[in-house]
């Protein structure tokens, strides 16, 4: 049974680094790569997952996002890139490609290996021999065969398209892009007289990647406590979002039908809540979920007469006249610029806030104070702002942006015991392609 996280990671003096690396074989992968990038060993041995080695065998967002969360917290994530590089490098238009990979592969190591090459088995065998987990998005036959040969194989964490595991029960497409549509979440988005709305992020894949990373760690802990190997885990890509459909399921069972889309209103029109445009084009979201807040809102936009109007006194009354209430709020918002409206709602203790886009978030002083974004140097020069490490307070860090294809191949192979001549031979035969 491999020991992992038996003791917390410690910062070591410069003179002791070489002996420490010799003593912790799995740690040397990241140390060698760090030296190649001009980083110190201290910068790589940080976070609660220091010492955990993960193989990322994926070209899709779900496993990559889960692996990125582990890497942020100190895990050594080795992206095993097939010839041509990870498919993630080629997703989206050029403007997206330039920034997606540096973020999706941050803190990771790139090993350019052709797992299907007939001479690749020694590399794969040594990799699965040091890894504790492999995150994958397809059947990955060579890797699974290597794991089957291993004395102590890594935990297999598989993220697959909805329906791919039970095709006899799923007559629809198994394209991973449809995971959000299969989650139940998408059916709740959009206006009630319009189509659902798909968010501009791979929300289903990222939610399931997060779920998979957390579940894998839970199982790793249970395996250590019980003295056994960690069990394999499988996740359909819709399951992360489907877990969030909580109150909608019992309501559907009680009503005999699913709840309908209601735009930005509160579900089932329960309280005052929607999005309104100000005179200068700003968007403000409103939430008046209690009688007290609703009264203050009505008093602010229409004085005592509106607050005392019997049509709006109770939640049931407001629900029956929500269209008129929202028309009154929209008219009030349209008479005020954003800054003026926000000052008035604050003075009246009403729950209203701005809808921030990415640019506004990056300029927000509170977000900056909490390190919501960090500036990270790029391998080719310059830097890129990207989301900071979350959750906070666990010792994680963004150490480097996503590497070039095969940037860490020599360091990874060297840490596995391959001599320079052997590495050169692997490169000549095409097992290592970059």
Average pLDDT over residues 183-197: 90
Whose CA is closest to 237, among 66, 77, 54, 56? 66
pLDDT digits (tens, 9 = 90+) for 261-276: 888 888 777 789 999 9
Whose CA is closest to 29, among 421, 396, 377, 418? 418
Average pLDDT over residues 341-360: 94
Question: What pLDDT is attached to residue 18?
Answer: 28
Considering the entire predicted model, what is its pTM? 0.86
Question: What pLDDT is attached to residue 46?
Answer: 76
Q: Using CA atoms, how far apart are residues 216 and 94, in angstroms rounded to an integer?
A: 33
Whose CA is closest to 285, among 298, 271, 274? 274
Other CB atoms within 10 A of residue 373 CB: 17
**Token pair recorded at residue 94:** 């050029």
Q: Using CA atoms, how far apart are residues 279 and 340, in angstroms rounded to an integer?
A: 10
Q: Using CA atoms, how far apart are residues 238 and 418, in angstroms rounded to an integer?
A: 41
- CATH assignment of 267-355, given 2.60.40.10, 3.30.420.40, 3.30.1540.10, 1.50.10.20? 3.30.1540.10
Average pLDDT, the chain: 88
Question: What pLDDT is attached to residue 345?
Answer: 95
Question: What pLDDT is attached to residue 74?
Answer: 97
Output the CA angle 337-342-344, nearest 5 degrees. Answer: 95
- Could you give the C-alpha distances from 203 to 21, 65, 68, 242, 361, in angstroms and in order? 39, 11, 15, 11, 19
Query: Which DSSP string do the residues of 41-103 spell out, in sequence order?
Result: HHHHS-STTTT-EEEEE-SSHHHHHHHHHHHHTT-EEEEEEPTT--GGGG-S-HHHHHHHHHH
β-sheet bridge partners, residue 286? 274, 352
What strands lie across the sheet with 352-354, from one edge to the other? 272-277, 283-288, 352-354
Q: Where in the chain is the domain with CATH 3.40.50.10540?
A: 14-244+369-429
Say what percent of the chain tops pLDDT 90: 76
With a CB cutoff of 8 Å and minimum separation 6, the contacts of 329 are 272, 274, 276, 286, 297, 301
Whose CA is closest to 18, among 40, 2, 36? 40
Per-residue confidence band for 395, with pLDDT thresholds at 50, 70 and 90: very high
β-sheet bridge partners, residue 236? 160
Average pLDDT over residues 11-30: 34
Question: What pLDDT is attached to residue 145?
Answer: 97
pLDDT digits (tens, 9 = 90+) for 129-181: 999 999 999 989 999 999 999 999 999 999 999 999 999 999 999 999 999 99
3-state helix, strand, coil in the chain (%, to 5): 45, 15, 40
Output the CA angle 293-295-301, nearest 5 degrees. Answer: 105
Assigned CATH for 14-244+369-429: 3.40.50.10540
Q: Which of 26-40, 90-104, 113-127, 310-324 has the lowest mean pLDDT?
A: 26-40
Question: What pLDDT is attached to residue 34?
Answer: 53
Whose CA is closest to 264, among 194, 208, 340? 194
The 8-class DSSP code of residue 434 comes to: -
pLDDT digits (tens, 9 = 90+) for 278-290: 999 999 999 998 9
Q: Using CA atoms, how far apart are residues 13 and 414, in angstroms rounded to an integer?
A: 24
pLDDT at 327 over 60: yes
Other CB atoms within 10 A of residue 346 CB: 11
β-sheet bridge partners, residue 374? 386
Question: What pLDDT is attached to residue 217?
Answer: 98
250 three-state secondary structure: helix
Q: Where in the chain is the domain with CATH 3.30.1540.10?
A: 267-355
pLDDT at 2 over 50: no
Question: What pLDDT is attached to residue 380?
Answer: 87
Whose CA is closest to 222, among 207, 236, 233? 233
Residue 309, exposed/middle/buried by CB under 10 A (0-12, 13-18, 19+)? middle
Side-chain half-sphere exposure of 276, counting CA atoms within 13 A: 25
Query: Which DSSP string do the residues of 137-203 spell out, in sequence order?
Result: SS--HHHHHHHHH-SSPPEEEEEE-TTSS-GGG--S---GGGTTTTSSSGGG-S-TTS-----SS-H
């Amino acid at each position: 049974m491999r020991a992992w996280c038996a003791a917390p990671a410690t910062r070591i003096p410069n003179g002791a680094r070489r002996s420490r690396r010799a003593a912790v074989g799995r740690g040397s992968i990241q140390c060698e790569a760090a030296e190649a990038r001009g980083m110190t060993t201290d910068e790589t041995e940080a976070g609660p997952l220091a010492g955990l080695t993960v193989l990322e065998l994926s070209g899709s967002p779900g496993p990559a996002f889960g692996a990125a969360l582990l890497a942020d917290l100190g895990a050594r994530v080795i992206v095993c890139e097939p010839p041509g590089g990870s498919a993630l490098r080629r997703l989206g238009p050029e403007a997206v490609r330039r920034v997606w990979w540096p973020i999706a592969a941050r803190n990771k190591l790139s090993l350019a290996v052709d797992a299907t090459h007939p001479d690749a088995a020694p590399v794969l065998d040594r990799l699965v021999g040091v890894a504790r987990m492999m995150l994958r998005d397809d059947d990955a036959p060579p890797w699974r065969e290597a794991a089957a040969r291993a004395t102590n194989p890594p935990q297999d964490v598989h993220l697959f398209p909805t329906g791919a595991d039970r095709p006899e029960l799923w007559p629809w497409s198994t394209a991973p892009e449809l995971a959000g549509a299969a989650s139940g979440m998408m059916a709740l988005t959009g206006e009630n007289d319009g189509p659902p709305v798909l968010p501009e992020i791979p929300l289903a894949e990222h939610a399931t990647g997060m779920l998979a990373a957390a579940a894998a760690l839970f199982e790793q802990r249970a395996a250590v406590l019980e003295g056994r190997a960690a069990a394999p885990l499988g996740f359909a890509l819709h399951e992360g979002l489907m877990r969030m459909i909580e109150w909608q399921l019992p309501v559907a069972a009680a009503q005999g039908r699913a709840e309908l889309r209601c735009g930005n209103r509160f579900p089932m029109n329960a309280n005052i809540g929607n999005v309104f445009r100000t005179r200068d084009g700003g968007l403000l979201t409103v939430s008046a979920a209690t009688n007290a807040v609703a009264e203050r809102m009505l008093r602010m936009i229409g004085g005592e007469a509106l607050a005392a109007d019997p049509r709006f006194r109770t939640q049931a009354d407001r629900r029956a006249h929500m269209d008129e209430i929202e028309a009154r709020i929209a008219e009030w918002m349209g008479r005020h610029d954003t800054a003026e409206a926000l000052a008035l709602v604050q003075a009246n203790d009403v729950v209203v806030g701005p809808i921030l886009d990415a640019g506004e978030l990056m300029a927000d002083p509170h977000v900056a104070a909490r390190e919501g974004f960090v500036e990270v140097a790029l391998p080719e020069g310059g830097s890129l702002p990207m989301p900071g490490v979350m959750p906070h307070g666990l010792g994680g860090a963004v150490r480097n942006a996503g590497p070039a294809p095969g940037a860490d191949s020599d360091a990874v192979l060297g840490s596995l015991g391959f001599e320079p001549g052997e590495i050169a031979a692997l490169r000549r035969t095409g097992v290592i392609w970059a």
